[in-house]
Chains A and B, each alone.
Chain A
């Protein structure tokens, strides 16, 4: 399911003295099956875009197309439930949304809210909790007795249980320790590959975007200023600096190393393992 934003503008508090424009003429196409990262600083409009992706906000101007559904300012939207079921959003700190008595019931809440019967919802909850790596014995526990990392998995399972085609992640690793962060990001990548999902990662982490995404969009002061493949975007440090962003750490390091060694590696690397392999191969080549 493609999502397309055409000339989307959005203002908060239209018609009040507090009116504030958050988005300006944003064009963005997110094709089905891609792993799209949306990067920008605090206040760049990332979160406002995010809320357009499943029609929580309607554009003030322009059009948002989510699959077949068209969302525009003037038009009264038809039933938005199918859209919201198809696009699942994992908000920042999703564990704050848990509320049910048991983990099982919490995961079942989403699908049942969309009209799935109890039996099916429970079956989904059991499958999804396995998929996100929750042990079976937590299903009957209160979600509030779990650790932060596990609570977050419960919340993610709840989104997955709605069987969305698209998953939108809003800073999904905020507050997790490094191990938890890697586990969660690897989990999403695995879901992306195995479940044929479209992933949209809204983040300010250049590192995560470089490591996982196949398409990047850069937001700056409410505009979408750059789109492209990770290597295109991250290869151009000067351009990124215009938008007060730095290239990922790993690329900075590669450039610094190349300057010192006096030769360039055959390719720009986005993952640490890749850089280690490429450099080792280049050094062996030179020895000969």
Chain B
């Protein structure tokens, strides 16, 4: 498989002149294959967002290297590399520039010198992907929070990036909005082979990923499939994350003395387990 992104021994501090302050990111290495969906999880302040900014070249690490498509990132190729990545931040209010929704989505295209006709087409396509076509001429400021975020995602999609970075991009959406956006990302991934890097607290979003990277105190605490990571159980909770509903429920039931096998990810499996362990004797 084609390695699209690799980080080697990354260390970063926001205050290089204060060596006594702990690094925001310390000795993090990992690689992402093209078409993979990686979720970076961890509590607030664990270094997730710093890592996203390093990947996008918004921050340069003091140690270690970032390579995109085999090319080590440096100041010369930064713009080329960055054009391969679309980034969506948590708060869409901080990323609006256009007077209307379609102007806003077109902004990055204009910056990249995309011809007018193609620009119009891409803007419409991107807005259709996030179901915001009805709002082409609305002012972004007057949209609700969830709608704003969908426009921001469209802005990233319009660039047709190879990697889409979602920095807690669904955390302000309502459940339906979140589901729509995630379904959109899944569809995009299927159709275009988009690589997705999502930084999230949302367990359902994390469970969609092929692989999870679990950050704690600026370090990579664990890496693995959602199953492997959620098997860490109490350790996750201690480090500020939650457990998916079936796992949490199973633990509560076991504490109440209900016999269970355990070791599953879905509600269906939990329901089966309760049934088999307690009735089919």
Interface residues of A (CB under 8 A from B): 12, 18, 41-43, 47, 92-93, 147-149, 171, 174-180, 204-206, 244, 246, 249-250, 253, 256-257, 260-261, 272-273, 275-277, 279-280, 283
A276 touches B252 (CB 8 A): yes
B253 touches A92 (CB 8 A): no
Q: Which residues of B contact A275 (CB under 8 A)?
A: 249, 252
B249 touches A43 (CB 8 A): no
Q: Which residues of B contact A249 (CB under 8 A)?
A: 245
> Which of these, A206, A253, A277, contacts B267 with CB under 8 Å?
A253
Q: Which residues of B contact A179 (CB under 8 A)?
A: 43, 237, 240-242
Give the nearest-CB partner of A244 in chain B: B176
Q: Given A42-B174, A42-B177, A272-B249: A260 and B240 within 8 A (CB)?
A: no
Q: Which residues of A contact B240 (CB under 8 A)?
A: 177-180
Q: Given A42-B146, A47-B144, A180-B240: A280 and B258 within 8 A (CB)?
A: yes
Q: How far is the CB of A184 from chain B (nearest CB, A)?
A: 12
Q: How far is the CB of B171 from chain A (nearest CB, A)?
A: 5
Q: Which residues of B contact A205 (CB under 8 A)?
A: 175
Question: 16 A-B residue contacts at CB 8 Å?
Answer: A41-B176, A92-B145, A149-B45, A174-B171, A177-B43, A178-B242, A179-B240, A179-B242, A180-B240, A205-B175, A206-B175, A253-B245, A256-B271, A261-B275, A276-B249, A276-B255
B171 touches A175 (CB 8 A): yes
Q: Is B28 an interface residue, CB under 8 A from the partner?
A: no
B176 touches A257 (CB 8 A): no
Q: Which residues of B contact A178 (CB under 8 A)?
A: 201, 203, 240-242
A272 touches B172 (CB 8 A): no
A280 touches B257 (CB 8 A): yes
A93 touches B44 (CB 8 A): no
Interface residues of B (CB under 8 A from A): 42-45, 90-91, 142, 144-147, 168, 171-177, 201, 203, 237, 240-242, 245, 248-249, 252-253, 255-258, 267, 271-272, 274-275, 278-279
> Which of these, A250, A256, A280, contacts B256 with CB under 8 Å?
A280
Q: How far is the CB of B18 from chain A (nearest CB, A)?
A: 12
The answer for the CA separation of A256 and B44 in the assembled complex, in Å, is: 34
B43 touches A42 (CB 8 A): no
Q: Which residues of B contact A149 (CB under 8 A)?
A: 44-45
- Which 8 pairs across A and B sit closest by C-beta, in order of nearness? A178-B242, A280-B256, A42-B146, A204-B174, A276-B252, A179-B240, A177-B43, A42-B144
The answer for the CA separation of A157 and B180 in the assembled complex, in Å, is: 36
B253 touches A276 (CB 8 A): yes
The answer for the CA separation of A43 and B149 in the assembled complex, in Å, is: 13
Give the nearest-CB partner of A180 in chain B: B44
Q: Which residues of B contact A204 (CB under 8 A)?
A: 174-175
The answer for the CA separation of A149 and B252 in the assembled complex, in Å, is: 27
Give the nearest-CB partner of B147 in chain A: A42
The answer for the CA separation of A180 and B201 in the assembled complex, in Å, is: 11
Q: Which residues of B contact A93 (CB under 8 A)?
A: 91
Q: How far is the CB of B170 from chain A (nearest CB, A)?
A: 11
B249 touches A148 (CB 8 A): no
Q: Which residues of A contact B145 (CB under 8 A)?
A: 42, 92
The answer for the CA separation of A253 and B245 in the assembled complex, in Å, is: 10
Q: Given A42-B144, A179-B241: A280 and B175 within 8 A (CB)?
A: no
The answer for the CA separation of A43 and B252 in the assembled complex, in Å, is: 36
Q: How far is the CB of A273 from chain B (nearest CB, A)?
A: 6
Q: Which residues of B contact A256 (CB under 8 A)?
A: 267, 271
A174 touches B172 (CB 8 A): yes
Q: Which residues of A contact B42 (CB under 8 A)?
A: 177
A175 touches B241 (CB 8 A): no
The answer for the CA separation of A93 and B272 in the assembled complex, in Å, is: 41
Q: Given A43-B147, A175-B90, A253-B267: A148 and B44 within 8 A (CB)?
A: yes
The answer for the CA separation of A149 and B46 in the assembled complex, in Å, is: 13
Q: Which residues of A contact B258 (CB under 8 A)?
A: 276, 279-280, 283
Give the nearest-CB partner of B45 in chain A: A147
Q: How far is the CB of A222 from chain B (nearest CB, A)?
A: 12
Q: Which residues of B contact A47 (CB under 8 A)?
A: 144
